Amino acid sequence: MPAVRCVDVCKTYRQGELEVKGLDHVSLEVGEGGFVCLSAPSGGGKTTLLNAIGGLHRIDSGEIWLADRRIDGLGKGELASLRLHQIGFVFQAYNLIPVLTARENVEFVMEVQGVPPDQRRARSMEILEEVGLKGLEDRRPAKMSGGQQQRVAVARAIASRPTLVLADEPTANLDSHTAEQLMELFVELNTRHETTFVIATHDQRVMGYARRIVRMLDGRIVDDTEQEAA
């Protein structure tokens, strides 16, 4: 069963008088454990598709399925719960909570999930070690580099052991070395935990790590290619 299935998805935005097609009859399947890059120039529809899969955008028509659950008709609360328990988000801007330490940022989502404190603490330490931040657990974001902050954001995204990670331009604010490290981390998590990754990017370096590249233009899928990952 595919981890993600989009069937004939359409989404239109209004920009003043203009109607812009964000998604134009998009159909896509991503298998469990997949590692897919959505590639498009700005305004091509990759972020819109990512947000639609994550339940952040309402679609005009079509169907979106996560595993065996159709999500496009779910209410706000149900979608929030789905994101909390099944989906991990990584954004271009790390958007950590500035007053919490790295560990507390990771624990925050787990607390919302209702994970008991001792388990929360153990799991957050384990994940931070996994993303290479051992020893920096008690630092606040302001005292960390961009790469370190993005790693905390990744740790936060995977803390709840989601089956699907959606990453929107995760390397956009990182230098090439840090970007490579982050992508290697994604690959490792994908391989070790069989977590499905869907990454929106127009960064060629990132695409090199993907096993499949879906190219979009003007809200449509124009190319869908399997490739050997780097």
Partner 1 sequence: MALMLKLAWRNLWRHPRRTWLTTGAMVFSNVILVFMISMQVGMYQMMIDNTLRASTGHLQVQARGYLEDQKIREVVPQVKPLAKQLGGELDLDTVAPRAAAFALASSADRSYGIQIVGVEPMAELHVSSLPGLVVEGRFLEGSNTEEIVIGEVLARNLKAGVGDELTFMGAGRDGSFAAAVVTVVGILESGNPEMDRSLAQVPLAFFQDVFTMDGAGHDIVILAPDLFQVATVKSEVEALLPTDEDLVALDWEQLVPGLKQAIQADMSSAMFMYLVLIVLVAFSVLNTQLMSVLERTKEFGIVTALGVSPGRLGRLVLLEATLMGLMGLVIGVVLGGALVVWFSFYGFTFPGLDEMAGQFNLPDRIYLPVTLFGLLFGPSVVLLASILATLYPMARLRWLEPVDAMRAA
Q: Which is nearer to partner 1, 111 or 175 (CB)?
A: 111
Whole-angstrom Cα distance, residue 148 to residue 135?
Answer: 12
Considering only residues 148 to 167 of the shown chain, the ones binding partner 1 according to CB under 8 A are 156-157
Q: Does 169 bind partner 1 (CB under 8 A)?
A: no
CB 7 to partner 1: min, Å:
22
Considering only residues 94 to 153 of the shown chain, the ones binding partner 1 according to CB under 8 A are 95, 97-100, 104, 107-109, 111-112, 117
Rule CB under 8 A: choose which of 7, 20, 56, 125 binds partner 1: 56
Q: Which is nearer to partner 1, 85 or 161 (CB)?
A: 85
Q: Does 46 bind partner 1 (CB under 8 A)?
A: no
CB 21 to partner 1: min, Å:
17
Q: How many CA atoms lie within 13 A of 17 on its CB side?
A: 0
Q: Which long-range contacts (CB under 8 A, 24 or more apart) does 57-62 make?
A: 57/11, 57/22, 58/11, 59/9, 59/10, 59/11, 59/23, 60/10, 60/11, 60/12, 61/8, 61/9, 61/10, 62/6, 62/7, 62/8, 62/9, 62/10, 62/23, 62/25, 62/26, 62/27
Q: Does 82 bind partner 1 (CB under 8 A)?
A: yes
Q: Does 84 bind partner 1 (CB under 8 A)?
A: yes
Rule CB under 8 A: choose which of 65, 89, 186, 197 binds partner 1: 89
Choose the binding region for partner 1 from 53-61, 171-179, 192-200, 217-225 (rule: CB under 8 A): 53-61
Cα→Cα distances 80→56, 84, 112, 157, 205, Å? 9, 6, 11, 14, 32
> What is the helix (H) or strand (E) element at residue 225, kind and residue range?
strand 220-226
For partner 1, the binding residues (CB under 8 A) are 51, 54, 56-57, 76-77, 80-85, 87, 89, 91, 95, 97-100, 104, 107-109, 111-112, 117, 156-157
